[in-house]
Copies of this chain bind each other. A is one copy, B any other.
């Protein structure tokens, strides 16, 4: 279901659309792009192949819909309205909460398999990988960079370049777990306790570097 419409799809056509995307996600992630068939997707979404083609005129377009849908749903779960932070304690609590949330949402078997699939198809579908970048790390870095500009005005953070600073936070949080899961498989997805410990260390480093001198 699209991030912009969190209530149940209203019409029969919208429900079918959502069912096809959900089934397609399963099939693409299980079988990869080449082995996924529109027949299998139709069967798993309990509609005719004709109906699948009415909604998505090609396997290619359906693949794009799966990637954008999964990334937007994840993004909606990670990103919230900009918080109103008044002091160091509130900033720290927000960053810990954000750090745990982004890892909990992103480090799932489905999203990690999507990432592997998109990376393996980057030469055939370069636009798709660009979408995943924009809706994943790109969105996280952009959103946090905008917040950091406000926090600099409020003398909570001090830094030169908001985008670079937001990218550093992103990779302090995501670099090690994402790389481990990419390489070592989904068994390497961290536990809640591991995410919590890793996040505390990442936020401590971030604040040591960027907390505004007036807050120290």
The interface of chain A, by Cβ under 8 A from chain B, is 116-123, 126, 129-130, 132-133, 137, 160-161, 164, 167-168, 170-172, 174-176, 179-180, 182-185, 198, 201-202, 204-206, 208-210
Contacts and interface: CB of A to CB of B under 8 A. Distances in A.
A174 B174 CA distance: 11
Which 10 A-B pairs have CB atoms at the shortest separation, nearest pair first? A171-B175, A120-B120, A133-B183, A175-B175, A208-B209, A205-B209, A171-B171, A129-B183, A167-B176, A119-B119
Interface residues of A: mostly helix, strand, loop or mixed? helix
A171 B167 CA distance: 10
A89 to B, nearest CB: 19
18 contacts: A116-B122, A119-B120, A120-B121, A122-B183, A122-B185, A123-B185, A130-B184, A132-B183, A133-B183, A133-B184, A137-B179, A160-B201, A161-B201, A164-B198, A168-B205, A171-B176, A205-B206, A205-B210
Contact of A168 (B133, B184, B202): B202
Contact of A185 (B120, B129, B184, B208): B129
Identical copies in the complex: 2
Contacts of A202: 168
A135 to B, nearest CB: 11
Contacts of A118: 183
Listed residue (A198, A208, A210) with the most chain B CB atoms within 10 angstroms of its CB: A208
Contacts of A116: 119-120, 122
Nearest to A202: B168
Given A137-B176, A168-B176, A171-B179, 12 more contacts: A116-B119, A119-B119, A122-B183, A129-B182, A133-B184, A160-B201, A161-B201, A164-B201, A168-B201, A171-B174, A208-B209, A208-B210
Contacts of A122: 116, 182-183, 185
Contact of A133 (B129, B130, B179, B205): B179
Contacts of A137: 176, 179, 183
